[in-house]
């Protein structure tokens, strides 16, 4: 909380429509968002790119199938003026907090009804938005379902499921340790460090342009097979995207199915999603389970609503109630507290099956992606908040101090 907050041009000034990003045929050079120079990740062009992710790299469809769309009944409430105080002590309103966090879309559900829905910039009801690490919570939910079904053994070492991992850091990690990110691996994920392992991982998966001199692995699988262990498994929580990618591999091998199809059949179609989603794929067709899902904010809210409802959508038990309860119950708080990065903003939280679980007092669980992607589920109040965003910083450290009080304020305003 004591680090000086960097300043960026604000949300209004960087509205991608106002700035005319990607307007014109072709757009002028200074309004062009290019994959080749990683412009799709660079603020403020990123504000256009996050709503057009599939235009930059290959994606697979996550089909909604041909079932009925889950109804979202509109019951609008005027929440714009709901007051809150940021973790830095600054008073603001909900509407101001949305702008302060560079939101692109937001849907608030209360007991299943849409009480608030807004879009900004390139955000639109039927336009998908990259969810980044919110993807992980979909993958973790699916993994917990497979464990529940007996398809994945939580105690099995990864190498027994994917022998190619035998010599890697994850070889002797159990499925459960992978699911809870308690893995000792020589891999760093500081997005502000150009030498961090996440970048080589991303290049391997085709999420960034290849370098001419790049002799590294050319697929997620090749990267994952080549990691080295550092420290022990089962100790502290350590947030690393590669763990979700390993989990995706374990799930695909255990089921013989592609991740995009598992997501479609087990989650996307059963929740009555309105639109197909998409997921980034590497040069071998492997989906980026660690952060490649794009979806509409409405469908993200539907996913949260199903979980709030103990895993049910309508008459259908989509996710076993025991799986939802296990996620909502959280992981080991000591293991989480041992991770220094989140001590200030997330005291009393834990991590379970790729979900962020709040203190018991708060009673929420959350999917979180860089640049502000969020799904906040608060069963006691019946509130679900889905938000997509294009915050300038690839770190929730600058985002949480506004986002968390804002979500809590809305929850309190609706509760009762």
Active site residues: 133
What is the closest distance, in whole angstroms, from the C-beta atom of residue 228 to a copy of itself in the complex? 21
List the structure tokens of 348.
């009393």
Measured from the CB atom, the residue of 238 and 294 that comes closer to a copy of itself is 294
Task: Give the DSSP letter of residue 267.
Answer: I
If one asks whether residue 22 binds a copy of itself (CB under 8 A), the answer comes out as yes
Angle between helices 321-329 and 134-149 (to 10 degrees): 130
If one asks whether residue 59 binds a copy of itself (CB under 8 A), the answer comes out as yes
Q: Which of 60, 106, 178, 273 is in the footprint of a copy of itself by CB under 8 A?
A: 60
For the stretch 305-313, contacts whose Cβ atoms lie closer than 8 Å and that sit 24 or more positions apart, written own/partner, are 305/109, 305/112, 305/271, 305/384, 306/270, 306/271, 307/141, 307/365, 307/377, 308/109, 308/377, 308/378, 308/379, 308/382, 308/384, 309/112, 313/70, 313/270, 313/271, 313/272
Measured from the CB atom, the residue of 32 and 95 that comes closer to a copy of itself is 32
If one asks whether residue 246 binds a copy of itself (CB under 8 A), the answer comes out as no
Measured from the CB atom, the residue of 65 and 83 that comes closer to a copy of itself is 65
If one asks whether residue 138 binds a copy of itself (CB under 8 A), the answer comes out as no
What is the closest distance, in whole angstroms, from the C-beta atom of residue 156 to a copy of itself in the complex? 16
If one asks whether residue 276 binds a copy of itself (CB under 8 A), the answer comes out as yes
Q: In the chain, what is the straight-line distance between the N-terminal and C-terminal CA atoms, in Å?
A: 32
The rounded radius of gyration (Å) of the Cα atoms in the chain is: 20
- Which residues are CB-neighbours of 89 under 8 A, at least 6 positions away? none
Residues 247-266 close enough to bind a copy of itself by CB under 8 A: 249, 252-253, 258
Q: Which of 128, 180, 299, 305 is in the footprint of a copy of itself by CB under 8 A?
A: 128
What is the closest distance, in whole angstroms, from the C-beta atom of residue 76 to a copy of itself in the complex? 18
Q: Which of 77, 127, 312, 408 is in the footprint of a copy of itself by CB under 8 A?
A: 127
Q: Can you tell me the distance from the alpha carbon of 295 to that of 306, in angstroms, rounded to the nearest whole number?
A: 16
- Span from 88-96, 126-134, 165-173, 401-409 in contact with a copy of itself (CB under 8 A): 126-134
- Give the alpha-carbon dihedral of 326, 328, 331, 337, to 10 degrees: 180
Q: Which of 126, 150, 213, 340 is in the footprint of a copy of itself by CB under 8 A?
A: 126
- Span from 21-29, 173-181, 374-382, 403-411 in contact with a copy of itself (CB under 8 A): 21-29
Residue 302 phi/psi, 5° resolution?
-60, -40
Measured from the CB atom, the residue of 9 and 65 that comes closer to a copy of itself is 65
Measured from the CB atom, the residue of 34 and 111 that comes closer to a copy of itself is 34
Q: Which of 8, 19, 43, 61 is in the footprint of a copy of itself by CB under 8 A?
A: 61
If one asks whether residue 19 binds a copy of itself (CB under 8 A), the answer comes out as no
Site string for a copy of itself, 207-226 (x = CB under 8 A): -----x------x-x-----
List the structure tokens of 277.
């989603």
If one asks whether residue 83 binds a copy of itself (CB under 8 A), the answer comes out as no
Q: Which of 86, 135, 243, 278 is in the footprint of a copy of itself by CB under 8 A?
A: 278
- Span from 61-69, 76-84, 183-191, 351-359 in contact with a copy of itself (CB under 8 A): 61-69
For residue 35, the tally of other CB atoms under 10 A from its CB is 16
Q: Can you tell me the distance from the alpha carbon of 220 to that of 285, in angstroms, rounded to the nearest whole number?
A: 10
Residue identified by tokens 């509409």 is 296
List the structure tokens of 101.
């966090």
- Which residues are CB-neighbours of 64 under 8 A, at least 6 positions away? 264, 268, 269, 272, 273, 274, 275, 276, 277
Q: Which of 12, 13, 65, 380 is in the footprint of a copy of itself by CB under 8 A?
A: 65
Pairing relationship of beta strands 355-357 and 59-62 according to DSSP bridges = unpaired
Residues 26-45 close enough to bind a copy of itself by CB under 8 A: 26-27, 32-36
- Nearest CA among 380, 382, 385 for reference residue 405: 385
What is the closest distance, in whole angstroms, from the C-beta atom of residue 379 to a copy of itself in the complex? 30
Q: Which of 76, 214, 284, 360 is in the footprint of a copy of itself by CB under 8 A?
A: 284
List the structure tokens of 138.
């979909």
Reported as half-sphere exposure (CB side, CA atoms, 13 A), residue 332 has a value of 15
Measured from the CB atom, the residue of 15 and 276 that comes closer to a copy of itself is 276
If one asks whether residue 113 binds a copy of itself (CB under 8 A), the answer comes out as no
- Which residues are CB-neighbours of 21 under 8 A, at least 6 positions away? 27, 31, 33, 44, 45, 47, 48
Q: Can you tell me the distance from the alpha carbon of 187 to that of 181, in angstroms, rounded to the nearest whole number?
A: 13
Site residues (vs a copy of itself, CB under 8 A)? 22, 25-27, 32-36, 52, 54-61, 63, 65-66, 125-128, 212, 219, 221, 249, 252-253, 258, 274-276, 278, 281, 283-286
């Amino acid at each position: 909380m004591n680090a000086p907050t960097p300043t960026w041009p604000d949300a209004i000034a960087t509205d991608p429509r106002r700035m005319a990003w990607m307007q014109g045929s072709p757009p002028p050079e200074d309004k062009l968002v290019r994959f080749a120079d990683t412009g799709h990740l660079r603020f403020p062009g990123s504000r256009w790119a996050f709503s057009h992710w599939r235009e930059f790299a290959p994606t697979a469809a996550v089909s909604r199938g041909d079932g009925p769309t889950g109804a979202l009944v509109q019951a609008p409430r005027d929440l714009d003026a709901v007051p809150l105080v940021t973790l830095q002590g600054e008073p603001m309103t909900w509407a101001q907090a949305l702008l302060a966090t560079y939101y692109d879309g937001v849907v608030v559900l209360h007991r299943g009804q849409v009480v608030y829905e807004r879009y900004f910039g390139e955000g639109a009801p039927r336009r998908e938005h990259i969810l980044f690490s919110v993807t992980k919570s979909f993958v973790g939910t699916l993994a917990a379902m497979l464990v529940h079904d007996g398809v994945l053994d939580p105690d099995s070492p990864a190498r027994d499921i994917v022998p190619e991992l035998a010599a890697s850091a994850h070889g002797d990690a159990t499925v459960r340790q992978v699911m809870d990110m308690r893995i000792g691996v020589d891999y760093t994920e500081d997005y502000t460090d150009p030498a961090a392992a996440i970048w080589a991982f991303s290049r391997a998966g085709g999420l960034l342009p290849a370098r001419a001199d790049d002799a590294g692995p050319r697929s997620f699988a090749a990267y994952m097979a080549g990691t080295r262990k550092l420290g022990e498994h089962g100790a502290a929580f350590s947030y690393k995207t590669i763990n979700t990618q390993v989990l995706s591999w374990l799930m695909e091998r255990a089921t013989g199915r592609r991740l995009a199809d598992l997501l479609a059949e087990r989650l996307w179609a059963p929740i009555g999603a309105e639109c197909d989603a998409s997921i980034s794929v590497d040069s071998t067709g492997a989906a980026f389970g660690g952060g490649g899902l794009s979806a509409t904010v409405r469908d993200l809210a539907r996913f949260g609503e199903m979980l709030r409802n103990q895993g049910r959508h309508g008459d259908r038990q989509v996710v076993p109630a025991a799986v939802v309860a296990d996620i909502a119950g959280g992981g080991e708080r000591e293991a989480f507290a041992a991770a220094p990065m989140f001590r200030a903003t997330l005291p009393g939280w834990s991590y379970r099956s790729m979900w962020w679980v709040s203190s018991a007092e708060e009673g929420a669980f959350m999917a979180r992606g860089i640049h502000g992607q969020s799904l906040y589920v608060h069963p006691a109040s019946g509130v679900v908040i889905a938000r997509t965003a294009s915050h300038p910083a690839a770190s929730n450290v600058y985002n949480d101090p506004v986002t968390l009080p804002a979500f809590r304020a809305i929850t309190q305003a609706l509760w009762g």
